[in-house]
Every structure is written in structure tokens, then in C-alpha cells.
Chain A
Amino acid sequence: MKIPKIILAASLAVAPVLTNAQQLDITITNLTQGIYFTPFIVAGHDANTRIFQVGQAASTELQALAEGGDISGVSAMLTGAGAVVSENPAGGLLAPAGSTSLTIDTGTQEYLSLSSMLLPTNDAFAGIDSWKIPSTPGVYWINVNAYDAGTEANDEIVNGGGMPGVPGIPAAPGMDAGTNATGVTTTETNQTVHIHRGNLGDDDLTGGKSDVDNRVHRWLNPVIRVRVEVLDQTL
């Protein structure tokens, strides 16, 4: 697909020097009313590289992202696989109704993926797994679902526990969660990446099973909308 472009460029006297560039202008919007997103990781990569796959166990790198919002491991994995990576476009958390934008040159990489953890949850993350980057310039919209990494029981106790393997929810950034919950569950039925069933929550902010507020910390899919503008590299 690149060869005709190069020939075309060579035939134009004022044509810019074409490299194997593919610039994407991306805007990420939080569709929820009460969920915060940890720093996003966005990557252009090849067909053999995945941040996650449904029905497969999460990698340890994804576990760190989904349980604690730590994208460093996923970033290293992607970089090691030759991916083009953009980190933390929002410069921190993406609040309800918030948007953040970035520009990424995915070069010759054919696929786009992104991911971020939902707070307050135990191990929920939103993600795009290997969206084929179109060759036709234009604006594309992607609705993004919330997944459960399957690595931690959804006890819904806000205790600061964000390290992989440590129970609990690291934080409720809206400062609107409860305390002293006894825990919703200690088991995780589906230990592969799957669609998140949602927080259970309760309406007892000083006790009950859950520290999550069942009137606030809810969502239905999709939780993120992504606008991708594929720029015309021949202009």
C-alpha cells in the first residue's frame, strides 16, 4: 500500500518527503457520571502484540494496570515489541465527562490499542484490543467497554490496595466512597479477561458489604468514546 504513495510523491515537484508515517489525532472521552480513569496508554503495534485478549488470562503487566493503574509494565512490553507508545495524555486522572487528546504517529504499525483502569474498582479497565488502523483518511468513532481483568476478587473495599495481588480498591478519586465495608466477595469466578459485571455497591457509607456507592459508582457499557482522525499523509 505504501509503494503507490511513494511513486506519487516522487512525481510531485513540491511533495513533502514521505516517510512511513501515519498520524492519528485521538480524543478520549469519559462517558460515565461517577468513574475516574487512570492514565491511559495508547499504542500503535503489530498483529502479534496485544495489551489484552478476552477469554485469555491477563498478563502481569495488564494486572498492574487493572489493579493499580500502573502502565509502566504494559508500556515496557509494548516498547519491547516495537510499538509506538503514548502515555498519560490527560496528565493524570480523566474525570467523569472529561476529555483528553493526543497525537500519535503510528508509522507502519497496523493496529491501535489503548487501556486505562476504572476507579473505584478492584480490577476493571477500559480497553481497545487491536483496532485495525484504516488506510482511508477520515474520522472514526470507537465505543469502548469496561473489562474485568479477572485477577482480583471484586471485594469493593477501598483500602489503598493497588499493588498486583493485593486485595482492595486503591482509591475513589471523587472522595465519595464509604468506609468499613466487609467485602462483597472473595472469589473471582471468571479468571480470564471478560466484560465487567459492574460494581455492586451499597447505600451504607460507613459499613455494609461495599465501600462503593451504588447510586454513584455505576456504569453501563460503553464507558469511553474514542474519536480517531486518520490524517491524510499525502497532503
Chain B
Amino acid sequence: MTKLIMRCLLVAAVGIISACSSDNNNNQNTGTGGVVTPPPIQTKLFNVEFTNLTNAQPLSPVALVLHTEGQLWQLNQASSDALELLAEAGDNSAILAEDFVQDSVSGEGVVMPGVTRALAIEAPTSGDAYLSLATMLVNTNDAFTGFTRMDVSNMATNESVTLSIAAYDSGTEANSEAAGSIPGPADGGEGYNSVRDDVDFVARHPGVVTADDGLTTSVLNESHRFDNPVIRVTVLRIR
């Protein structure tokens, strides 16, 4: 229960209106004589705050995961199917369910341009601990941003790290910007498609062209363009 209460307090403290999650109920071990033993040693607790720095690229619900091995992507390597789903459709469910993920949190809803949100996630008190975060720029074919395999095992309480992060391209869908190919509000088109008709490796995103800049078949306009960085993230260990 301690964990749950702490998460609720944290969520309140950072101004997020949400119900407290109940996905981490501690088992209350029953000791000898029916006496309830105290909860186990507290975990480390991290607050991850992120701001959408773009002009007109809403961000899909953020995936924030804790893991002790693996990573969500590698530059110049083919995207995982889970990352493809996030980068093409804004669907974080497969990333949250990755085999190597120990704990996961999903942001509540889309993060609009200029908006700051925060999520809390726990880690064991010892041993390896990596954080990864991913979210789609939804007015694109397959642009995403975030970080993966941030080592937080040696962060001290009250220590924080702030990152300004670029946009990446999952390389799984051609950047056609064509009608019907972009899931965000600029188009309302298709999200995920298992066909990989692009370079099939993860790289920095080259940016969108848009119809205003000469790609006549693009459903995007000049407002959707972006330069890096596209998000700012601060990871703070609060316990």
C-alpha cells in the first residue's frame, strides 16, 4: 500500500489529474500468528517530466518503462515490431508489454504542443535499472522521440538529469505525408501497417516537407514542421 499511496501523492504533486493506478498492489504477507508483516523495503521512485517543444505535433500517450536489460531501439538497426507500432500508430501497448520490461507506465492521453506532463515509476533499491521513454509525433508517418536505456541505478535521491531530445524515424514507413497515411489530426489516416516500405533502420528524422514547402501530395502544412529538440525531459529521483 505504501507504494500505491506514494504514487498517488506524487501524481497529485505534479498536477496530473488521474485516478491512482492499482497495478502494483503489494502482497501483504501474513507472518506467524496471523500478524501482518511490514511492507518490504521501499523502492526507488523517479519522476519523469516532459514538455512538448513542437509547434503542431501532438505526442501520443507516452510509454515509460523500467528494465534491467534490453533497449527499445538501436540507431541504425531495424525497429522492433513494438516500436513500429508506436512510431506509426502512436500505440504504446506493445512497448509496455515488451518481455524485458519490469515496470511500465502509460501517459494519459495525447500531450499537446507546449504542454508539460509527468509520470512516476519505481525501481528496485539495488541492481541494474534503466529507464526508457517513447512517444510518436502523430502528424508524421513514423516519427518518434524519447530515450532508451538511461542508467538510473546510480542516481542519488534528489538528483536530476535534463535532456533535450531530437526526433527519430523508425524507418518502417515511407515519409510520403500522403492522405490516409498519417494517424494524427492533420490527416486521420492509417496508423500501423506491418509492411516495411522504408529504409528499415532507426535514424534521426529528417523533418517533414509539407505541402507549403513543395510536396504537393502532402497533407501536412508549414505549421507541422519541426526542428530539434522536440521534447525536453527531466528525470528526477525523488526517493
Contacts and interface: CB of A to CB of B under 8 A. Distances in A.
Contacts of B164: 145
Interface residues of A, number: 23
Nearest to A219: B227
Interface in A175-203: 184-185, 187, 189-192, 194-198, 200
Given A54-B232, A184-B212, A190-B114, A196 B54 contact: no
Interface in A183-229: 184-185, 187, 189-192, 194-198, 200, 209, 214, 220-221
A158 interface: no
A16 interface: no
Interface of A: 54-55, 145-146, 148, 150, 184-185, 187, 189-192, 194-198, 200, 209, 214, 220-221
Interface of B: 51-56, 113-116, 164, 212-213, 222-223, 225-230, 232
B53 A189 contact: no
Most chain B CB inside 10 Å of its own CB: which residue of A145, A185, A194: A194
B177 to A, nearest CB: 15
Contact of A197 (B51, B226, B232): B226
Chain B contact residues: over half helix, strand or loop, or mixed?
loop
B222 A146 contact: no
Given A146-B227, A184-B222, A185-B222, A55 B116 contact: yes
Nearest to B226: A197
B204 to A, nearest CB: 11
A189 B222 contact: no
B113 A194 contact: yes
Contacts of A221: 227-229
Contacts of B116: 55
